[in-house]
Amino acid sequence: MDAITQKVIMSLYTASESYYTVRPMLGRLHDLGLHPKALIMDGHRMVIRAIREIWPTVIIQRCLYHIQREGSRWLRTYPKTEAGKELQGLLRYLPKVKNSKRKAQFLHNFSSWLERHESFVRALPRSTVAYKDLKRTRALITNALPDMFHYLDDPNIHSTTNCLESFFSRLKADFRRHRGLSEAHKQSYLQWYCYFKNMNNSNTF
């Protein structure tokens, strides 16, 4: 989806998102002349691999909502450790990063968290839930950090994939109302759905 016009550029009916399903679609878009400046996406590693093969220099903006949601899921609703509570607070701060000052504050807070809690996390028994949750969330933020704040440098780069996620949620809800469709008709339904979305470019279907 084009983040500015909110028009669907291309759709794919597939059982799962993977390198082998996404790579041919991206290749076709490239051959059709699409050369994006930036792509806003979640952290699917195999999709990132496919993107880098097609457009090596494109800016990848990691969706802040996905980072926040995934990290919060791993930390649970009520983290039991002080390290978990502070890390959850950092994730909740992400939507507030609207300028370079708040970016600097986030980076400072995360660096401070690492300095104060890294030894605690390493000392936890590896079989404990706390160790796994903290390690995963720490790795999530660390790996995403280089591509978290490109939107601050360019107003045309969005910080989340919320437009696409909203469209996808409505699409899934409408698919559920047509459970009797054959696979061929489901594919046709998707194509027509995206076509009418682009025709009126509105939230009414």
Per-residue pLDDT tens over the stretch 82-121: 999 999 999 999 999 999 999 999 999 999 999 999 999 9
Same-domain check for residues 114 and 167: no
The stretches of 15-144 forming alpha helices (DSSP H) are 19-31, 45-54, 64-75, 82-93, 100-123, 129-144
Residue 154: inside a domain: no
Same-domain check for residues 70 and 140: yes
Residue carrying the six token digits 């093969």:
53
Express as a percent the part of the chain with pLDDT over 70.
98
Same-domain check for residues 24 and 49: yes
pLDDT in tens, 48-57: 999 999 999 9
**Does the pLDDT at position 204 exceed 50?**
no
pTM of the model: 0.89
Residue 2: inside a domain: no
Q: Range of 28's domain?
A: 19-62+161-200
Same-domain check for residues 141 and 69: yes
Residue 118: inside a domain: yes
Instruction: Report d(CA 45, CA 51) in Å as an integer.
Output: 10
Same-domain check for residues 33 and 82: no
Helix pair angle (82-93, 64-75), 10° resolution: 160
Residue 6: inside a domain: no
Same-domain check for residues 43 and 110: no
Q: What is the DSSP letter of 16?
A: S
Same-domain check for residues 34 and 102: no
